[in-house]
Chain A
Amino acid sequence: MTDLAAGLEQTLRRVVDPETGRDLIAMGMIYEARIAGTCAHVTMTTTTRGCPLTEMLRLGVEAALLAMAGIETAEVRLTWDPAWTPERMEPLSL
Chain B
Amino acid sequence: MMALVLSLLLALATGIGPEDFDRPEALAIVHLFALGWLAQVMLGALVQFVPVLAARPLAFSRLALPALLTSSFGTLALAGGFLSLDGYDIARPFFLLGPVALGLSFAMLAVMILSTLITRQTLRLPEVRMVIVALAGLAGLWLSGAAMVSTLTGSRLAVDISQALPLHMLFGIGGFLTFAACGVSYKLFAMFLLAPEAASWQRRAVFALAALMAGLMMTGLVMLAGAGSVAPLLIGVCGISLAGCALYLDDVRRLWRARRRPTPELNMSCSRVALAFLALSVLLLPFAIWQGGALARASVFAALVGWLSTLTLAQMIRITAFLTWIQIFAPLIGRRKVPVVQSLTHPRRAGPALTIWSLSAGIGTLSLATGFHAGFRLALCGLLIAATQILCELVAIRCLSHLAPPERPARLPPLILPSLMNPPHSAENQI
Contacts and interface: CB of A to CB of B under 8 A. Distances in A.
Interface of A: 14-16, 18-21, 47-53, 56-57, 59-64, 67, 85-87, 89, 92
A50 B334 contact: no
A64 B337 CA distance: 11
Interface stretch (B23-31, B50-58, B199-207, B373-381): B50-58
Contacts of B55: 48-50
A86 B262 CA distance: 12
Interface of B: 51-56, 187, 191, 194-197, 258-262, 322, 325-326, 329-335, 337-342, 420, 424
Contacts of B261: 20
Contacts, number: 81
Contacts of B420: 52
A87 B420 CA distance: 30
B333 A57 contact: yes
B334 A18 contact: no
Contacts of B196: 85-87
B326 A60 contact: no
A47 B335 contact: no
Contacts of A92: 262
Given A18-B341, A21-B340, A61-B334, A50 B53 contact: yes
Given A18-B329, A18-B340, A85-B196, A48 B335 contact: no
A48 B197 contact: yes
A60 B197 CA distance: 26
Given A50-B51, A56-B424, A87-B196, 20 more contacts: A16-B340, A18-B339, A19-B191, A19-B322, A47-B191, A48-B55, A49-B55, A50-B54, A52-B51, A52-B52, A53-B326, A56-B333, A57-B333, A63-B335, A64-B334, A64-B335, A67-B334, A85-B196, A86-B195, A89-B260
A56 B331 contact: yes
Contacts of A15: 333-334
A55 B16 CA distance: 51
A24 B261 CA distance: 16
A86 B335 contact: no
Contact of B334 (A20, A47, A48, A62): A62
A48 B193 CA distance: 13
Contacts of B334: 14-15, 59-64, 67
25 contacts: A14-B334, A18-B330, A18-B341, A20-B194, A20-B261, A20-B340, A47-B191, A47-B194, A50-B53, A50-B55, A51-B52, A52-B52, A53-B326, A53-B333, A56-B330, A56-B331, A59-B334, A63-B333, A63-B334, A63-B335, A64-B334, A85-B196, A86-B194, A86-B258, A87-B196
Contacts of A16: 333, 338, 340
B195 A18 contact: no
A52 B326 contact: yes
A81 B212 CA distance: 34
Nearest to B51: A50
A47 B195 CA distance: 10
A50 to B, nearest CB: 4
Nearest to B48: A52
Between A18, A21, A51, A57, the greatest number of chain B beta carbons within 10 A of the residue's beta carbon is seen for A18
